[in-house]
Amino acid sequence: MFESVKDEIIKFGKIAGDRNLTPGISGNISVRCGDKIVITTSGSASSFLDYEDLCVLDFDGNLIEGTKKASSEKFVHIEFYKKRADIGAICHFHSPYLTSFAACNQPLQDKVLPEIVFMFGEIPVAPYAIPGSKLLADETAKYFDKYTVVLMQNHGAIAGGKDLKEAYLNIELCEAYAQTLVLSKILGGAKILSDNQVNDIYALKH
């Protein structure tokens, strides 16, 4: 079932691994397919996926197809899809720079780069809960109404998109942004855009 979707997850998992966005067996990827979800399995390495590392779930988290258990973060993915009809794919990665902000419980709130302001506004941090728990899914889901990229405190980042390419590019862009912010601190601190400058960026949306 859903072979072309599985091929796409395998492809983007490898790209994410090549770019150090998903070290080791951390992270997971899913794609919405009607009333089903194709998602990576527990303990799989996103950069070395085979068909058996992917399974099909329904929206209650029941296993429909596959020989291994789904990712323990399946409920975060399910809640994201339930809240946002516009989201067709999700990448959850422990990418080093975004995860550093998550580790320090620091949202990316300062308005520094116009494209980030335009696309994401800011990147919040959802409160810590133990990985794989329903509580983590519930706490993180509170942010999905308003945000497409959310950090999970002491854990990592999750990003949605209309398709897998967009979800992947969203998290890649935010990871680069997080790196830019860290490097900017070394150079003396980023210059924050003024309220007027930020309003001009938001005005581009209308």
β-sheet with 125-126: strand ranges across: 63-65, 54-58, 36-40, 28-33, 89-93, 156-161, 149-152, 125-126
Which tokens hold the place of 42? 């527990």
> Which residues are near Zn ion by CB under 5 A?
156
**Closer by beta carbon to Zn ion, 129 or else 201:** 129
**Closer by beta carbon to Zn ion, 156 or else 160:** 156
**Closer by beta carbon to Zn ion, 17 or else 156:** 156
Q: Closest residue (Cβ) to Zn ion?
A: 156
As measured in angstroms, the least distance from the Cβ of 163 to Zn ion is: 22
- Calpha distance 17→33 (Å, rounded): 24
Residue 172 is a catalytic residue: no
As measured in angstroms, the least distance from the Cβ of 184 to Zn ion is: 26
As measured in angstroms, the least distance from the Cβ of 71 to Zn ion is: 8
Cα dihedral 177→182→183→185 (10° resolution): 130
Which residue of the set 52, 65, 73, 166 is catalytic?
Answer: 73
What are the residue numbers of the active site? 73
